[in-house]
Structure formats: C-alpha cells, structure tokens
Amino acid sequence: MGGAEWQEGCDFDAELLAEAGGDVLVLPTAAAYEHPERAVATAERWFSSIGGRARGLMVLGRADAEQEANAAAVRSSPFVYLGGGSPLHLRSVLKDSIVWDALLDAWHDGATVAGSSAGAMVLTDPMVDPRGGAFTLGLGLIEQLAVIPHAATWSHEKVDRTLALAPGGVPVARIEERTALLRDPDGRWHVAGVGAATIFVDHQQAGLEALPS
C-alpha cells in the first residue's frame, strides 16, 4: 500500500479482512519513534468501522523481535499488517529475527500479509532507500520488486533518478496513498483504492503482468 493507511478510501482492507477471517495483527514497528500506540489506535478504529478487529503487537526494537511470545503471535495470525514510518528502522528490527521468520511461516501457511509505506518497502527486495532514491537490500518477502510509496509526493527528478538506478529487469511500483497493489493467492495482481499504481521496468512503463507471480 502506498501510505495513508487505515482511513476512508482504503476499502480494500475489507476484502483482505474477509479473506483472513476478520482479525488483523498490526505491527507499528516502523513508527517506533512516532507514537506507535497512536498508529495502533487508528488501526483499531478503522478495522472496527469495517467489521473487523485489530490489535497491536509492540515489536518496536530488536529485543522485541527476538521474543518467542511475539513470534508466536505473528505465526498464528491470519492477517499481519506492517504500518508506515521508517523503513530503515523496520528493516533493522526485523531482519534475521525470529519474528520475521514467524511472519514468513505465516505467509507460507496462507496468512494475508500487508504493508503500507515503510511496511510495503521492506517487504520487497530490492528496497528503495528513501534518503536518496537509490536501492538497498529489503527483506524479500516478494523478490524482484521495489516499491515507491506516497507516489504523488516524490518529485519528478527523484523518481527519474530512482528509476534510472533500478536493477535491470526489476519492476518498480509507484503507489499512491490510500491505494494498494494486491496479489491474489493465484499470483495475479490488481490495483484497489482511490489512486493509481504505476509499474516501470527499465525506466519504461509496464503493465501488471511485469510483476512477479
């Protein structure tokens, strides 16, 4: 998702809730230094308004990501949502942790996994480095894909620089706020929400069929 999560216009969350059974586990890790409890409260209000139930899991630092109780909560959740904030902090907390391993286990067992803004960025590999628009290592739940969130807030110069630096053949998805790029269980992709998601490969606009299945 391109950002501005858990508010009007994000009606696609109802689709995800229906697939997952109505409950969502929210990790406000990326907002660790930006009042993560407020992010959880926003998620709780939003999901309650669309017929679901959200609860937060305060994995805010590395020690939290190595607690078995947190890993067990993630592993057993049918729907895990990584919120926005700092992608670099989120990556450093989760990388090679038991909570990340648990998320992978849940994903492979059929759980729904969502990420908004920073959460979307780290789920891919390579990952766009927000400091300058170059590329770095992501966590790689989805490989051979990179995400530019908050697409409307990036200058044309920064977008062009990022696209020029993208590894050859790797799709880069520019996703607007309150907009999601969703992958179905069969590997097909579609766009939902109030904005657009535009795919580029080798600096040229491409279709959804360019995304990894």
Please state the rounded mean pLDDT for residues 21-45: 96
Please state the rounded mean pLDDT for residues 95-104: 98
The pLDDT value recorded for residue 144 is: 97
User: What digits encode the pLDDT tens for the residues 192-208?
Assistant: 999 999 999 999 999 99
pTM: 0.95
pLDDT band at 56 (very low <50, low <70, confident <90, very high): very high
On the question of pLDDT at 150 being above 90, the answer is: yes
On the question of pLDDT at 54 being above 90, the answer is: yes
The pLDDT value recorded for residue 86 is: 97
Please state the rounded mean pLDDT for residues 33-56: 97
User: What digits encode the pLDDT tens for the residues 154-206?
Assistant: 999 999 999 999 999 999 999 999 999 999 989 999 999 999 999 999 999 99
Please state the rounded mean pLDDT for residues 1-25: 95
User: Could you tell me what percent of the chain has a pLDDT over 70?
Assistant: 100
The pLDDT value recorded for residue 109 is: 96
CATH of 12-210, one of 1.10.3720.10, 3.40.50.1970, 3.40.50.880, 3.40.50.300: 3.40.50.880
Spell out the SS3 assignment of the chain: CCCCCCCCCCCHHHHHHHHHCCEEEEECHHHCCCCHHHHHHHHHHHHHHCCCEEEECCCCCHHHHCCHHHHHHHHCCCEEEECCCCHHHHHHHHCCCHHHHHHHHHHHCCCEEEECCHHHHHHEECEECCCCCCEECCCCCEECEEEECCHHHCCHHHHHHHHHHCCCCCCEEEECCCEEEEECCCCCEEEEECCCEEEEECCEEECHHHCCC
Residue ranges of domains in the chain: 12-210
On the question of pLDDT at 133 being above 90, the answer is: no
